[in-house]
Amino acid sequence: MTDQQLPEVFEIPMNQPEQAKPKKVSLSLIVAIIALGISIYSISSKSNDTSSIGQPIEETDLYSSPLNLPDMIAGVEKSLVDITCGESGGTGFAIDGNVSEGFASVIVTNHHVIEDCLDAGIEPIVAIGPDYEQESEAKIYDYDEDNDLALIEIKASIPILPESSSFAKRGWWTMAIGNPYDPLFENVLYNNVTFGNITNVIDDFYNYTTATVNHGNSGGPLVNSRGELIGINTWATSGIENGVWNIAVDSDALCEKLYKCEE
């Protein structure tokens, strides 16, 4: 710790001239001050009304971390699912969209997460709930191999993840959340979160972030500090030769490549 210069201290004279003494405050002025304080408190309380993910949506600075990070995480993870296809698997999440008859939720994930299911001609196993102990009947709806995206429909109804109304910008705070595999303890770390910032956006489709994406994070959401969907965590590299890159495909790719989204 470095020494800091203390601020200069001013002493208040003990014997002030008569005219310097404070005047008595009238009762009406006191009442007015109290009323003003109550009004300010009321306005402040309204401005701090929170959304379902725990912070004032309109006031959240997208370049800073959330005002209430625990609540934001809790809100986002309600939309997550765990997906298994044979020996592979990954993460998915629910988005707003029309579903086929008999199904209730549209799930986004990566093509490579469900690739083994496509090769084997089977449907994925989709686990839901706080501990992923429940399974919901599922079917693959569509996929886009070029952008590594896929859509699954499930019969369970789970909360949707709201989408950002604008493209991500360099410097935005970001959070990646998903179910990566931990090789140290040989298990899955459900709803694991990593944090970072957008470093670049290429062609409005590819969001580069410093939020770490690990094996098993595939198909999970990348969100901003409002808990809104930016993109789908898709690619990651780590090494001296190629460097460290974490890339999320922008959510608009779903509308342009896979899904007829409402305007």
Does residue 7 have a pLDDT over 90? no
Give the integer Cα–Cα distance in Å for 208 and 245.
Answer: 7
**pLDDT for 98-124, tens place per residue?**
899 999 999 999 999 999 999 999 999
Which of 144, 148, 164, 251 is catalytic? The answer is 148
Q: How many separate domains does the chain show?
A: 2
Q: Looking at the structure, do residues 178 and 247 belong to the same domain, yes or no? A: yes
**pLDDT for 121-141, tens place per residue?**
999 999 999 999 999 999 999
Domain of 140? 79-154
Residue 218 included in any domain: yes
Which of 218, 225, 250, 251 is catalytic? The answer is 218
Q: Looking at the structure, do residues 149 and 180 belong to the same domain, yes or no? A: no
* pTM exceeding the 0.85 threshold for the entire prediction: no
Q: Looking at the structure, do residues 138 and 186 belong to the same domain, yes or no? A: no
Residue 104 included in any domain: yes
The CA distances from residue 154 to 34, 47, 161, 163, 194, in Å, are 56, 38, 15, 20, 27
Q: Looking at the structure, do residues 225 and 191 belong to the same domain, yes or no? A: yes
Burial 176-186 (b: 16+ CB within 10 A, else e): bbbbbbeeeee
Phi, psi of 119, rounded to the nearest 5 degrees: -65, -35
User: In the annotation, is 218 catalytic?
Assistant: yes
User: In the annotation, is 111 catalytic?
Assistant: no
**pLDDT of amino acid 222:** 97
User: In the annotation, is 112 catalytic?
Assistant: yes
**pLDDT of amino acid 19:** 39
Single out the residue in 104, 136, 154 at which a domain terminates: 154
Does residue 219 have a pLDDT over 50? yes
Q: Looking at the structure, do residues 102 and 121 belong to the same domain, yes or no? A: yes
Which of 79, 82, 112, 225 is catalytic? The answer is 112
